[in-house]
Amino acid sequence: MNRLQKLLKCLLSKLNVTSRLALNNIALRQQLIVLKRGCNKPPILNRDRLFWMLLSRVWSNWKDSLIIVKPQTVVAWHRKGFKLFWKYKSHSKNPGRPPVSKEIKNLVCRMANANPLWGAPRIHGELLKLGIEISERSVSNLIRSLRHRPPSQIWKTFLKTHTHNTVSIDFFTIPTVTFKILFVLVILNHNRRKVLHFNITSNPTAEWTSRQIIEAFPWDTAPKHLIRDRDGIYGNVFRKRLKNMGIHEILTSPKSPWQNGYAERLIGSIRRDCLDHVIVLSEHHLKGILKNYFEYYHQDRTHLGLEKDTPVVRAIQSKPTGGELIKLPRVGGLHHRYMWQKAA
């Protein structure tokens, strides 16, 4: 794939003013080859997919010449290729723990139901005395599903009581067109769902994350509480920085994303509303996309948690006499804002 990219870039460097026309002819010829395969519905081969993925990397107007499929299909090809790439890269010859047999699973379930006061260590000890070899972690995973508890009222009450001085912090990852992984940090204010700060890096560290806290809360604007998960990226430097700023950090329980629900919902909205529909080219490109999205997120997008209002309060507009409804594109046309315009 790298060789093909270098070949296309080499050809582009040698083209003159008619480079756009030449690329257009190449794209049309490739689609003509597909249509000449003599079928009512010509099959799209892997080399066709690879051609359009590479062309979208080196030519910004590739969508104008695409006929045989929709541009969203090319984006889907790229995401599928990313999954296959990391599936191959993550492949391991040595699998994890051996699977637990059905008989042992049933035995663990019977012990857990008959002894509700027993935890995983006690049940694991009984199994060892019976000559059954199984790890304590496997026992814990088996009984967790039996004793699943809904979110406690105490946690919900805390979030509701301290909404005005609580923020959340979290990371999420985005692949680029060359399968490079970028880490995006977001800091969210619970009160009005405002994104106070975001930044992007390809190599997150505790030092880098602690600097983001300083940039997000200059002078005496630091909140009282900060909710985060137990990721190892929040190292000693980060924790000391919070302590010096007077911020009390609250750690969520392992494998409990609902405890950081505001940040998780924000990340889900970013993906569904924006990043699932584009191919990121670079860190600079991603930063521009997110900057445009957060402007839409704060000023135009209505939120269920804010009673259908926006983080930056949006006034209700009355229809003027003879007024006309207009739409304003947002986030490159993925979304729109609707307004009444006075008659000329």
At position 84, the amino acid (one-letter code) is: L
Distance between first and last Cα of the chain: 56
Pairing of strands 194-201, 324-330: unpaired
The answer, yes or no, to whether residue 14 has pLDDT greater than 60, is: no
Q: Find the mean pLDDT for residues 79-102.
A: 76
Per the CB < 8 A criterion, the answer to whether 120 and 143 are in contact is yes
Enter the DSSP assignment of 222.
Answer: -
The DSSP annotation for 263-329 comes to HHHHHHHHHHHTGGGS-B--HHHHHHHHHHHHHHHHHT--BGGGTSB-SS--PPPPPPTT-EEEEEE
The answer, yes or no, to whether residue 10 has pLDDT greater than 70, is: no
Per the CB < 8 A criterion, the answer to whether 328 and 337 are in contact is yes
Tell me the H-state helices in 15-70: 19-35, 46-58
Q: Find the mean pLDDT for residues 78-89.
A: 82
Q: CA 301 → CA 102, 151, 304, distances in Å?
A: 49, 28, 10
Per the CB < 8 A criterion, the answer to whether 252 and 230 are in contact is yes
Domain map (residue ranges) of the chain: 2-82, 102-146, 155-305
Query: Angle CA(51)–CA(54)–CA(60) in degrees, nearest 5?
Result: 115
pTM: 0.65
Q: Return the closest-CA partner of residue 191 out of 52, 72, 305, 43.
A: 305
Please state, rounded to an integer, the average pLDDT across all residues of the chain: 84
Tokens of 102: 């059905």
Per the CB < 8 A criterion, the answer to whether 294 and 311 are in contact is no
Q: Which CATH architecture has domain 155-305?
A: 2-Layer Sandwich (3.30)
pLDDT tens for each residue of 191-233: 999 999 999 999 999 999 999 999 999 888 999 999 999 999 9
Instruction: State the pLDDT confidence band at 291, using cuts at 50, 70 and 90.
Output: very high
d(CA 79, CA 278): 10
Q: Quick one: pLDDT at residue 18?
A: 61
Q: Return the closest-CA partner of residue 68 out of 92, 25, 33, 113.
A: 33
| Better-predicted residue by pLDDT, 161 or 42 | 161
Q: Return the closest-CA partner of residue 174 out of 193, 197, 201.
A: 201
d(CA 35, CA 41): 8
| Better-predicted residue by pLDDT, 14 or 320 | 320
d(CA 35, CA 31): 6
> What stretch of H or E contains 250?
strand 248-251
d(CA 187, CA 249): 13
Q: Quick one: pLDDT at residue 286?
A: 96
